[in-house]
Structure 1
Amino acid sequence: MNKNKKLILGIVFDAIGCLSYFFPGIGELSDIVWAPVSGWLMTKMYKGKAGRVAGVVAFVEEIMPGLDFMPTFTLMWFYTYVFKKDKKG
């Protein structure tokens, strides 16, 4: 998967994670389903140790109430393709 596709998918996944804010009460329940899915997706998008750590971060960010605003997928894309010295990602 190329980096542009990862960025677009990451933005979409971050938006899905924020949807719980639009449905108070019910939205937090949806996070119980979305948290493991987002963690799994992160590990599939980004391989190796960085992907596993990001998967755990994505899971925790989604399962904890009030943290859905964090764009975890987009931040991981920036880490991988902008800030990381090894540009292989």
Structure 2
Amino acid sequence: MNLSKNKKLVISIVLDALGYVSIIFPPFDFVWAPLSAYIMTKLYKGKKGKIAAVVSFVEEALPFLDVIPTFTLMWLYTYVIDKKKVKTVVDV
């Protein structure tokens, strides 16, 4: 997916909210855990996306971890944290 960073943020927030459905309806995790991992690999390419997909799958599959906003955290890492690291290296 070639989306702007703002669209990815909105999609990430919506996907995290969708993950909260399993708090009310726990069997939803059986469908959502693998689907969230697949979507994560499509939103974020490369090694980072694959690692985030594994984290997303585990977070959604295990009970009581559904409150972690994995997609939004990945967006923050990609567009805020990782960009600062790149800028610091370039400035040196």
The TM-score with structure 1 as length reference comes to: 0.89
Unaligned runs of 5+ residues in structure 2 are 88-92
1:36 alignment partner, one of 34, 45, 55: 34
Letter aligned with residue 73 of structure 2 = L
User: Whole-Å Cα distance in 2 between the matches of residues 6 and 48 of structure 1?
Assistant: 16
Query: Paired residue for 1:79, among 77, 80, 87?
Result: 77
Q: Which amino acid aligns with 1:68?
A: D
Q: Distance in 1 between matches of 2:32 and 2:50?
A: 17
Residue 13 of structure 1 is matched in structure 2 by: 15
Per the TM alignment, residue 28 of structure 1 is displaced from its structure 2 partner at its CA by 1.6
CA distance in 2, matches of 1:10, 1:79: 12
| Coordinate RMSD, CA, aligned | 1.1
The residue identity in structure 1 corresponding to 2:15 is F
C-alpha distance in 2, partners of 1:9/1:59?
A: 17
Corresponding residue pairs, total: 83
Describe how 1:57-76 pairs up with structure 2 within 5 A. Answer: 57-76=55-74
Amino acid at match of 1:16: L
Q: Whose radius of gyration is greater, 1 or 2?
A: 2
